[in-house]
Amino acid sequence: MKTIYMDHAGATPVRPEVLSAMLPYFTEQFGNPSAVYDLGSAVKDAIEEQRAKVAALVGAEAKNIIFTSSGAEANNLAIKGVCLALQHKGRHVIVSGIEHHSVLNAARYLEKFHDFEATFLPVDRYGQVDPERLAKALTPATVLVSIQHASNEIGTVQRLTELTAVCRQAGVLFHTDAIATAGVIPIDVKALGVDLLTINGPALAGPKGIGALYFRRGIRLVPQIHGGIQEDGRRGGTENVPGIIGMGRAAELARHELPERAAYLQKLRDRLITGVLTEVPEVVFTGHPEQRLPGHASFCFEGIEGEALLFMLSRQGIYANTGSACASKALKTSPVLCAIGIRPDLAQGSLVFTFSTTNTEAEVSAVLRELPPAVAKLRSFSPVWRKRAAGGAA
């Protein structure tokens, strides 16, 4: 059975060009970048080349990029690093309510252990933060705002320039988690007006275990990994050299291919969205219809559970994801879907497709062939659906 993989927000295979760039750094180029002899300094030079490539992807300078072990670590460094550095000025941080857990929990950590106040901003029905609401949430004690560039769960892209303008006027630093957008849509840190920005290696079809943080010149960060002078004394620990090489090569490829890639993904996305909304009754499209990621389609199906639908599709070789995670025996509602006003029972029927250029029109056709009968079959033995069909639904 042929596999159709449409969960690229969850994990993406490393591109062959990326892997081949990495391989020598596991073996012959194994030197410690901090070593003064050639074997080390050559590796250090290679790291600096990759730093420039990652910087170029977001319109930054190489010296303003810090490599981390993941996007989650970069988010932690941005939020905890900046807030702790500025705590003498104020102890208030603002994040949106639909951020990744690495942002939400970093803010909660500051509340719990450092006497900060954290504000979790609500979003509208598309998942966007209202700039006026952000302006009203700012206080004289606010030192940082963190709002994602786009949501991996509902695909919505924030109107970031409007949000950063609010913060710039108030003199408050702005961080964005751009894991969903780096290499997917154009990013220029200066045009966006962000002070810090998170990028993740795997999201660029690079390896896992590598991420990066852009920080505007002059921003102080309290290190979150205490150690040596790696990353100019801002993040200790011997560098993940193969990971950095892979991320640099992936960033280089992503930058060159971005316009064509975005157009291709958008075509697949729009065909899938149109097809699902046409072929399947009682389905709700989630996220913004226009201001959304080019390779992202997300839905909530009435009367069924997304987990069950994932299972049915996986038996046909189709791999997607759901926004509602089954944690323990209790079905937990996705906080993101909850935040955009999706009813808890409807949120259970969430399904998310995220594409890459390895996906094809034929694969979208196959999904459109398999999905409607899978939904119909699950509904046929769903008491929730039967109740709804009998007119008993809310």
Q: How many Å apart are CA 394 and CA 358, to the nearest integer?
A: 41
At position 367, the amino acid (one-letter code) is V
Q: Catalytic residue at 326? A: yes
Q: Choose, by CB under 8 A, the member of 13, 171, 233, 341 that binds other proteins.
A: 233
Which range touches other proteins (CB under 8 A), out of 40-48, 109-117, 226-234, 318-326?
226-234
Report angle CA 39, 42, 45 to the nearest 5 degrees.
150
Closer to other proteins by Cβ: residue 69 or 357: 69
- Provide, rounded to whole angstroms, the least separation between the CB of residue 143 and other proteins: 13
Q: Quick check: 220 binds other proteins (CB under 8 A)?
A: yes
Identify the residue whose tokens are 């966006």: 192
236 in contact with other proteins (CB under 8 A): yes
Question: Which residues, 6 or more positions from 277, have their beta carbon under 8 angstroms from its beta carbon?
Answer: 283, 285
Nearer to other proteins by Cβ, of 171 and 233: the residue is: 233
**Residue from the set 165, 222, 326, 368 that interacts with other proteins by CB under 8 A:** 222
Instruction: Say whether residue 234 binds other proteins (CB under 8 A).
Output: yes
Q: Is 171 in the site for other proteins (CB under 8 A)?
A: no
What are 260-268's contacts with CB under 8 Å, separation 24+? 261/184, 261/294, 261/357, 262/184, 262/185, 262/294, 263/294, 264/357, 265/184, 265/294, 265/295, 265/355, 265/356, 265/357, 266/294, 266/295, 267/361, 268/295, 268/355, 268/359, 268/360, 268/361, 268/364
Write the binding mask 83 to 102 for other proteins: x where contact by CB under 8 A, - elsewhere.
--x--x--------------
Which candidate in 83, 300, 326, 338 is catalytic? Answer: 326
Q: Is 115 in the site for other proteins (CB under 8 A)?
A: no
Using CB under 8 A, which of 35, 229, 263, 362 touches other proteins?
A: 229
Question: How many Å apart are CA 177 and CA 151, to the nearest integer?
Answer: 9
Enzyme catalytic residues: 326
The residue ranges that bind other proteins (CB under 8 A) are 85, 88, 218, 220-223, 226-229, 232-234, 236
